[in-house]
Amino acid sequence: MTFMKGIWKSMLPGCYKGEYPSRKPKRVVSTKPICSQRISVSDLSFPSTTFSEDLSMSLAGTNLHVFTLAELKLITQHFSSSNFLGEGGFGPVHKGFIDDKLRHGLKPQPVAVKLLDLDGSQGHKEWLTEVVFLGQLRHPHLVKLIGYCCEEDHRLLVYEYLPRGSLENQLFRRFSASLPWSTRMKIAVGAAKGLTFLHEAEKQVIYRDFKASNILLDSDYNAKLSDFGLAKDGPEGDDTHVSTRVMGTQGYAAPEYVMTGHLTAMSDVYSFGVVLLELLTGRRSVDKSKVPREQNLVEWARPMLNDPRKLGRIMDPKLEGQYSEMGSRKAAALAYQCLSHRPRNRPTMSAVVKVLDPLQDFDDIPIGPFVYTVPNESNNNNNNSGVESSFSPSPSPNKEKKSGHHHHHRHRRPHPLAKSPKSPRPHSHLNSENERHHTNRRSSSSESDSPPSHT
């Protein structure tokens, strides 16, 4: 931890105002102007000069807002539990509302504020990676980073608020309504477009942590990729891959990457195949509550993906047969290709988009059974008889109305802002209770991004 802090200071002295008396005016030492080429994390973390760096100046062209902790406390009502949205490896996420008085030029809007838990499995490096990547990448299928806060030990991120939360919550939450088939395809296409954008960028980005919990949904189920803490620049020049420490999430990470540490865009394609399989089957990539041979989704489903007679056995029972037969076959065959053991046999993400795009509109979905809708209070108010039997077909995908976003509460640790910043950091949470099975989520600046010695 001490070593890590030393590096943080050289990376972001602006975040250590208390310990670094201001000397000269800040100088920007990034050699790559943001307008012509994207700045990499390495441009900031390993400066070739002795000049101190200032992130906010290096990213000046990105329109990111640099918030104070006091401002973020204000907009989240002191990170109140009523604003709590959820918690992952980085730390808790709270809803906040920016009103027109907070900042000149910042439109009033709801936001999600993510706070780094210093005792958690992630650290400053992931925070910085997120700011540097998401600060510079803009696309309809990437979550919008509005700004960040870096004060003393505190690291926060401020995003646009996405009212339907994560795909993980929508797909697997026990009491959630089932996502209709065409909505699932819409989500798959949106996420695939996000990955295509990253892979085809002038300077390629490998996302490295594609999974259901990192796909956020707006009110129309437009998918947006979030969490760029593990993202990497793709190989350059004649290199075919990036050699890196194995990180990601068990059940989603490509086997060749886990085995060798060789990372390519095709590792993301594999992870996409896993999520596509989750959308088809309604099962999690790893589910320890199942019998052993069904615990790993890919291993269990793969043999049935190319067999139309067997495919029905693995389709999500929550769909109640309300899916396109032809669409499901095409999607399953695509998942099979994405999950190929050989990376070169996997399709590119743009090829994936071409196959999936038409599947949103397939109209061979059987007519749904009639479903009895229990009248709610507003029905009662409108109807003096008090009981209204309303019979309606299964919800059509794009008109479906849900009763807001039910937040997924995990086991909560004490709130990071309530803890002493000096509290020791326990070791990684491999196979922690919250169903995260990160291959290696704990990261610190002291860990080099070298290939693994073994996996």
87 is a contact residue toward ligand ATP (CB under 6 A): yes
165 is a contact residue toward Mg ion (CB under 5 A): no
* 88 contacts: CB under 8 Å, gap ≥ 6: 213, 227, 436
52 is a contact residue toward Mg ion (CB under 5 A): no
Known catalytic residue: 209? yes
209, 227, 268, 316: which is the annotated catalytic residue?
209
Residue of closest CB approach to ligand ATP: 88
* 35 contacts: CB under 8 Å, gap ≥ 6: 61
* Contacting residue, 93, 145, 269, 332, with ligand ATP by CB under 6 A: 93
Q: Facing residues of 224 across strands?
A: 216
For residues 123 and 199, what is the distance between their CA atoms, to the nearest angstrom? 25
87: partner contacted, choices Mg ion, ligand ATP, none (Cβ within 5-8 A by kind): ligand ATP
216 is a contact residue toward ligand ATP (CB under 6 A): yes
C-beta of residue 375 within 8 angstroms of C-beta of residue 392: no
- Nearest approach in angstroms of CB 249 to ligand ATP is 6
212 is a contact residue toward ligand ATP (CB under 6 A): no
For residues 22 and 66, what is the distance between their CA atoms, to the nearest angstrom? 19
For Mg ion, the closer of residues 215 and 332 by Cβ is 215
For ligand ATP, the closer of residues 155 and 241 by Cβ is 155
* Contacting residue, 30, 62, 169, 271, with ligand ATP by CB under 6 A: 169
C-beta of residue 372 within 8 angstroms of C-beta of residue 391: yes
* Contacting residue, 59, 64, 72, 85, with ligand ATP by CB under 6 A: 85
88 is a contact residue toward ligand ATP (CB under 6 A): yes
For ligand ATP, the closer of residues 126 and 316 by Cβ is 126
The structure tokens 């990170």 sit at: 79
Q: Which stretch binds ligand ATP (CB under 6 A): 163-171, 257-265, 329-337, 374-382?
A: 163-171
For residues 88 and 214, what is the distance between their CA atoms, to the nearest angstrom? 10
Torsion of CA 408, 410, 412, 416, to 10 degrees: -70
C-beta of residue 250 within 8 angstroms of C-beta of residue 235: no
- Nearest approach in angstroms of CB 258 to ligand ATP is 17
For ligand ATP, the closer of residues 262 and 436 by Cβ is 436
360 is a contact residue toward Mg ion (CB under 5 A): no
121 is a contact residue toward Mg ion (CB under 5 A): no
**Sign for the pseudo-dihedral over CA of 290, 217, 440, 269:** positive
- Nearest approach in angstroms of CB 64 to Mg ion is 19
Fill in the per-residue mask, 365 to 404: x = in contact with ligand ATP (CB under 6 A), - = not in contact. Answer: ----------------------------------------
* Contacting residue, 59, 75, 137, 143, with ligand ATP by CB under 6 A: 143
* Contacting residue, 8, 90, 252, 270, with ligand ATP by CB under 6 A: 90
* 198 contacts: CB under 8 Å, gap ≥ 6: 137, 142, 204, 205, 206, 207, 225, 231, 268
What spatial distance separates the first Cα and last Cα of the chain, rounded to whole Å? 25
For residues 211 and 247, what is the distance between their CA atoms, to the nearest angstrom? 13
52 is a contact residue toward ligand ATP (CB under 6 A): no
- Nearest approach in angstroms of CB 327 to Mg ion is 28
For residues 339 and 278, what is the distance between their CA atoms, to the nearest angstrom? 13
88 is a contact residue toward Mg ion (CB under 5 A): yes
For ligand ATP, the closer of residues 380 and 434 by Cβ is 434
214 is a contact residue toward ligand ATP (CB under 6 A): yes
For residues 453 and 261, what is the distance between their CA atoms, to the nearest angstrom? 9
Between strands 145-151 and 65-66, the pairing is: parallel
Element of type H or E holding 233? strand 232-233
168 is a contact residue toward Mg ion (CB under 5 A): no
Q: Which of residues 94-123 bind ligand ATP (CB under 6 A)?
A: 112, 114
Size of the site for ligand ATP (CB under 6 A): 23
For residues 365 and 368, what is the distance between their CA atoms, to the nearest angstrom? 8
Closest CA to 228 of 245, 242, 210: 210
β strands within 247-367, DSSP E: 262-263
For ligand ATP, the closer of residues 143 and 314 by Cβ is 143
Give the residues lining the site for Mg ion (CB under 5 A).
Answer: 88, 213-214, 227
Residues with catalytic function: 209
Give the residues lining the site for ligand ATP (CB under 6 A).
Answer: 85-90, 93, 112, 114, 143, 159, 161-162, 165-166, 169, 213-214, 216, 226-227, 408, 436
